[in-house]
Structure formats: structure tokens, C-alpha cells
Amino acid sequence: MRLSLFWRTFALIALLIIVSLAAWLQLFRAANVEPAAERFAWEAASLVNLTRAGLLSTTGPGRSLLLADLAREEGIRVLPAEPGDRIEDWPDTRFGALAEQRLRERLGPAMRLAGRVNGTPGLWIGFEIDADPYWLLLDPQRLQRPGGRSWLGWLAIALTLSVLGALAISRVIHRPLSSLAGAIDRLSREEAPEPLPEVGPTELAEVNRRFNRMAHDLHALEQDRAEALAGISHDIRTPLTRLRMEIELAPIDAAARASMADEIERIDAIVRQFVDFAQPVELESMSDIDLTAAIDSVVAGFTHGPDAAQLSLHRSIRPGTHWHGSQTSLARILSNLLENARRYGADATGHIRIELSAQRLGRGIELCVRDHGPGVPVEQLERLQRPFARADAERSRFGGSGLGLAIVGRLARRHGGSLQLELPAGGGLLARVQLQDAVSPAA
């Protein structure tokens, strides 16, 4: 799974902060070893000296009471050292070595630090009283470096704050890019994006400024194209209307009149496709559509139109299937797909069989229109979706402007979907259109 830029930025910043904190903690612990060993040695030497002074100042029963009080109240035991004692050194650590060195400096060369004597673990400190050797047994935790658990708590707090800071930094970095990606997505669907803020870091401000200029130029170009095509449509249809009237009144035979009328209809159909290709889709036209009723209204025009005698159209739609989108766009998509199948989908006998299906697919729908005609070469499938692109001469003899599939692809992209052409088993051509449910402007 590929991570988005936001999570990559967050992971990199969080990793950098965590590694920095870990390195800082290790450096601090390393720098704190010597002061901690010095402090421990001072405390341990004070205990030994106070214990020695107390024992020297008492005799007889008073010394026994003092030893008992030290063991009960302070956890300190004083034992005589014997020549046969089994002594095990304290585990070799830098802190322990420094603590032993500092203790020897304060208590003299006879001081010894042990971790176990005669099988009894503890913190054993060897010292002398009037040249007699003794052991001072302390709790081994006294040799532990202070503040271990508290440092873990502070480290957890620092890590939590670091992760939250990394999230905030990633959000600040990602927000302008996310806004730009959203604007580009709206522009790709031929919507007018809101102008991006031209403030902030110099590079991002310059990118937003250039995008705003590009979006404005594209919108102006789109308007100019729509106006030009609308003007061309008007200028062409006006003389076509006069031609129709003159043909009806001209003293020519019926066959010639019908042929000329068909050519005029072809020109008019091409002009309509030009206008359809340039016609935008407004968000306000989005509504909840019953696919069965919408498809039936489009299919009715084909079952009673040209080639109705040779046409058989089979539908497969689950009742109650709905789509939230543009009624106009859906009708234009279906009309162009069915017209393409009707025009080029005849088999060798002249029969035209078209299969149309619609179903819910995730948060949208999928429309499939298949004919059983001769199909097209596989290398032309992608090219047929481009404007003004037509297949080979055999299919081009039926006429057309080459805009039908381009219109379908454009409308599908406008609704967050796509058009895919396939060559199914058994021949013919399958057009698969996916359309996403539209989101209302309020949402």
C-alpha cells in the first residue's frame, strides 16, 4: 500500500524527532554517569563513616543495640569480614566502576565493593575499624542510577508531544498541496475551481498564482469555444432550414428529394454533436434518478426510430436502482452509446442486436452497452475515444462526426467515472461506463 504525501511527511518528521530524542537521552545519560557516581560515593562514604563512628563510640550492649537499630531502621547490616569469605565482584558497569573508584578515594585503599558475599546478594562495602575488616551490607538498589522511571515518563511525554507536533507540521505542509490537488480534480471534471490563496511560502504562492491564471484562461477558452460552436450551429442550421423548404418545393422526383433530405439530416446531426461536445453540465441539475425510467425514455426513441425493424434491444436493470447525477448527462451518454451501437452494430444479416445493462457499483453505477457487429481492431480501442476519431473505412462509410464516444468519455470523467471499450467473446463491441454519485454543492 502506497502512503500519501501527508503520511510520508508525518512519518519522516516523527522518525527524525524520535531518533533525535533517543540520541539526546543517551547523551544525557552518558553525561550524567559521573555526577551520579560521585553523588552515590559521597552518600555511601557518609554511611560508612557514620557507622564506623557510631560503633567506635559504643561498647558492649550499646553496640549491639546500635547494630540492631541500623538493620531495622536503615536496612544497614554490619558484618565482620572473614579470610575465607567467598566474594563476587559487582557487575562490571561504567557507573559501578566510577562509584567504586570514588569510594576508594574517600575510604582508603582497603575499601572494596562486592555484589555477593558467601552467596548472599547485596551491595557489600568493605571497610576497617581499628585495622579490623568489616562488611557494610546495603540494599543493591542504592547503586542504581537515580531517576530511571521518571525519565521513562518524561520520555513518553516528549514522544507524545513530538508525534502531535509532527502531525501539525505535516498538516501545515500538506494543506496547500491538498487544496491544489482538489482544484486540479475539479478542473479535470470541467468545473470552475475556487481561486487558490496566493499567500504563504514563495514557491507555493507562485504555484497557486500560476494555477489560478491557467484556470482562468481555460475557463475563458471554454466559454469562447461554446460561443463559437453555438454561433456555427446557428449559422449552419439557418441555411439548412431554407434548403429543406426549397427541396420540398423543388420539381424533383421523390427519391432524389429523400436522398437530399437525408444528407441534410446528417449535417444537422453532426452540428448537434458539435454543440453537445461543447455543452457544459451544471451542478444544479443533479438529482436522484430512477435508472429504469431514465433508460426506458431513451430506449423508446430507438425502438421507434430508424432501423426499428432490424433492431432488437435487450435490457437488464434491477428494479429500484437509482443514481444521483445529471438526468441530461445520463440521457446524452445512453443516446450516444445506443446510436453508436445502432449505426455500427449490424451483423452479417443486417440484424442489429443491442444488450444494455445497468447496476450499482460501489458509490456509483456501471452502464454496459454491447452490440454484435463486426467490432474494431484491438489497436483502435483507445483511439476511438478521442474527438473526431473514427474507425477504418468500412465503419466510416456510415458517416458521423467521430464525437459520440468522445462525448461519452467526457461526460463520464465529468461525473468522476470513465469509459472503457472492450472486445467481448463472440464479437461486437462493449462500451463500459462507470459514473460516480454526484455530491451536492451543500455537502
Q: Are residues 345 and 261 in the same domain?
A: no
**Structural domain includes residue 118:** yes
pLDDT tens sequence for the chain (443 residues) = 566 666 777 777 878 877 887 777 777 767 777 787 788 788 888 888 888 888 778 777 777 787 788 777 777 888 888 888 888 877 667 777 787 788 888 888 878 888 888 888 888 888 888 778 888 888 766 555 545 556 677 777 777 877 787 788 777 777 887 888 888 877 776 677 888 888 877 877 888 888 888 888 887 877 777 677 667 766 777 777 778 787 877 778 877 777 787 777 777 777 776 666 666 555 556 889 999 999 998 988 887 766 777 888 999 998 889 999 888 889 889 998 998 888 888 888 889 999 999 999 888 999 999 999 888 888 888 888 877 666 654 444 455 567 788 888 888 888 888 999 999 988 889 999 999 998 654 44
Number of structural domains the chain divides into? 3
What CA–CA distance (Å, rounded) separates 302 from 293? 15
- pLDDT score recorded for residue 393: 47
pTM, full prediction: 0.51
Q: For residues 249 and 363, state if they share a domain.
A: no
Q: Does the residue 178 lie in any domain?
A: no
Are 120 and 209 within one domain? no
The pLDDT of residue 371:
92
pLDDT at position 391:
61
Do the Cβ atoms of 344 and 371 come closer than 8 Å?
yes
Q: How many CA atoms lie within 13 A of 125 on its CB side?
A: 33
**Which H/E stretch holds residue 98?**
helix 94-107
CA-to-CA distance for 240 and 246, rounded, in angstroms? 10
- Same domain for 328 and 270, yes or no, is no
In which domain, by residue range, is 339 found? 285-436
Q: SS3 of 281, please?
A: coil
Same domain? For 138 and 62 the reply is yes
pLDDT at 281: 52
Instruction: Residue 375: give its domain's CATH number.
Output: 3.30.565.10
Q: What is the pLDDT of residue 441?
A: 45
Q: Are 229 and 256 in contact (CB under 8 A)?
A: no
User: Alpha helices, DSSP H only, in 189-201?
Assistant: none
Separation of alpha carbons 326 and 332, rounded Å: 10
How far is CA 291 from each of CA 296, 299, 335, 432, rounded to the nearest angstrom? 8, 12, 14, 16
- Which one of 149, 183, 202 terminates a domain? 149
Q: With respect to residue 173, please indicate whether it lies within any of the assigned structural domains.
A: no
CATH number at 66 reads 3.30.450.300
400 shares a domain with 307: yes
User: Which domain CATH number covers 251?
Assistant: 1.10.287.130
How far is CA 26 from its chain centroid? 36
Cell 562514604 locates to 45
Residues 78 and 217 in one domain: no
Residue 202 lies in a domain: yes
**Please, is 380 exposed, middle or buried when counting C-beta atoms within 10 Å of its C-beta (0-12, 13-18, 19+)?**
middle
**Within this chain, do residues 254 and 347 fall inside the same structural domain, yes or no?**
no
Domain for residue 157, yes or no?
no
Task: Show which of 280, 301, 319 is a domain's final residue.
Answer: 280
Q: Is residue 431 exposed (0-12), middle (13-18) or buried (19+ Cβ within 10 Å)? A: buried
**169 within domain boundaries:** no
In a domain, 184, yes or no: no
Query: Measuring CA to CA, how many Å separate 179 from each of 2, 168, 202, 303?
Result: 20, 17, 16, 47
Q: Are residues 25 and 138 in the same domain?
A: yes
In the numeric block, which cell numbers belong to residue 120?
548472599
Q: Are residues 124 and 228 in the same domain?
A: no
Out of 219, 246, 280, a domain closes at 280
In a shared domain, residues 292 and 276: no
Residue 222 lies in a domain: yes
Are residues 321 and 413 both part of a single domain?
A: yes
Backbone torsion region of residue 392, taken as left when φ is above 0, otherwise alpha when ψ lies between -120 and 50, otherwise beta: beta
pLDDT value of position 324? 92
